[in-house]
Every structure is written in C-alpha cells, then in structure tokens.
Amino acid sequence: MIQLERREHVTTRTIAVSEIFGVTIQGEGALIGKPTVFVRTGGCDYRCSWCDTLYAVLPEHKAEWQPLTTQQVFAEIQRLSEHTPLLVTLSGGNPAIQPLEELLDLGHQHGYTFAVETQGSVAQPWFSMLDYLTLSPKPPSSKQVTRWERLDRSIMCATKKKDTPKVQICLKVVVFDEEDYAYARHVSERYPDLPLYLQAGNHTPPQSGQEIDIPGILERMDWLIQRTIADHWYTVTVLPQLHTLLWGNRRGV
C-alpha cells in the first residue's frame, strides 16, 4: 500500500480516495486471482455489521480520505502498474457514490479495464462504461435492508450500452448462516440469468480486535459447499475470499 501525498488547491471535481494499492490480485468473485490495481474510494451509504473496511466507510475517517482529480488517480494507477494496462478494481466504501466516469474514459483510452464492486444501492449511468460490474447485495447478517428496485436499476444502467462490448455483470453474496443462505437462494431466483458467487464470510473483521479465525472460515466454506450440493444447486459458484486466507485483515494487499 502506498501513502498518497495530499494535494492542495484542487479546482476540478474530485474523487474521495481512501487508498490506492497494487499490483495485487483480486481476492474474490468472478475475477478472483486476476492481477489488479485497487482504487478504494471513501464513503458509503451502508453500515454492514461485519464490514472489514470501516476506514473507507465511517465519517470519522473522512479526514484520511483524499480529494484527488481524475488525472491524479490515473497517474497513480499508471505508476503502480508501470504503465502496463491491466485491470483496475474500483471498490470502497461504495464507489457508486463517486464521480468515476472521467476515470473510466481516461483509463480506457490507455487500454486499462475497469471493474466495480458495489452493493447495488446506487445506480449510475456510467455503469454502462464498465468492463465488469460485481453487484453484492447484503444478506440479513449485515443488518442492512436490500432495496430490490435499486438493484434492478443498477443492472439496467449497466445494460444500456449499445454497439460496444457488454458489461460483464455478476452477483456475489457473502454467507454466514442459514438465513444468509436462504437470501442467496432468493437472489438467484430473482436474477436467474446472472452468474452468482457465494463466499463464506469472515467473522473476525479488523475492528473486532481478534486474530482472524482461518479454521472457522474454512469450516463455514465447507458447510456452504455441502449445503449447495445437498440442494442440487449446481448453477452457483462457491469461492473463498482468497485475500482473507492469504493475508488476513492486512490492508493494501
């Protein structure tokens, strides 16, 4: 993880950035294992009970976020990637609340591809400019309420692009227990044409102050695999959160 230098006298529209790091690999979802630079934006409209990036969510961390222009963000992406076009993952917080269309346009001009990870609570027209969109609605264990009409709208925004390659859209649900599993089944039934990835949740996020429970996570993943097989649910993909297994709760990897 790099420490970004604070920029003064920013006069254009800026992006709230919590951190930019890489090159690393994508740790979850459809792009798991793919080399990427992460741009983690600051600010979120959700407060998930097990959130592992509260430093990019809570207002008390706002002073740590940096208002960077599109050009500043892209310059850092190029520096980290040594000007080699690769995947850029836009995460958060919720990146959908940030003005990212100019960054997408600039990066595409230089051959970069872009993936966004969001809960689908805020739909943006620039979703249609993405190469990949991962929608991760939050299950009951998060203590958040899914607004299905907003998730529907996010999908619609991503599919409006014409005469160019389509955005690759997938769904991802973190599962902790039976209630979450039932929620994931509902998501699958509601969006049968979209690939769905399930991941065993990490019950020891950084703010817990506890050592990460890798055996417990693996046990939950085994339960989740056996649960889907018992239900003959063969259209779903069960994956680990690879970054959690490799690096625990460390930032910037």
Q: How many CB atoms lie within 10 A of CB 163?
A: 4
**What is the distance between the alpha carbons of residues 86 and 34, in angstroms, rounded to a whole number?**
9
Q: What is the pLDDT along the chain (253 residues), one digit of tens a residue?
A: 445 444 444 446 899 999 999 999 999 999 999 999 999 999 999 999 999 899 999 999 999 999 999 999 999 999 999 999 999 999 999 999 999 999 999 999 999 999 999 999 999 999 999 999 999 999 999 999 999 999 999 999 999 866 666 899 999 999 999 999 999 999 999 999 999 999 999 988 777 677 889 999 999 999 999 999 999 999 999 999 988 888 877 776 6
Give the chain's domains with CATH numbers. Answer: 15-247 (3.20.20.70)
**What is the distance between the alpha carbons of residues 250 and 253, in angstroms, rounded to a whole number?**
7
Question: Sign of the CA dihedral 209, 210, 213, 217?
Answer: negative
**What is the distance between the alpha carbons of residues 226 and 231, in angstroms, rounded to a whole number?**
9
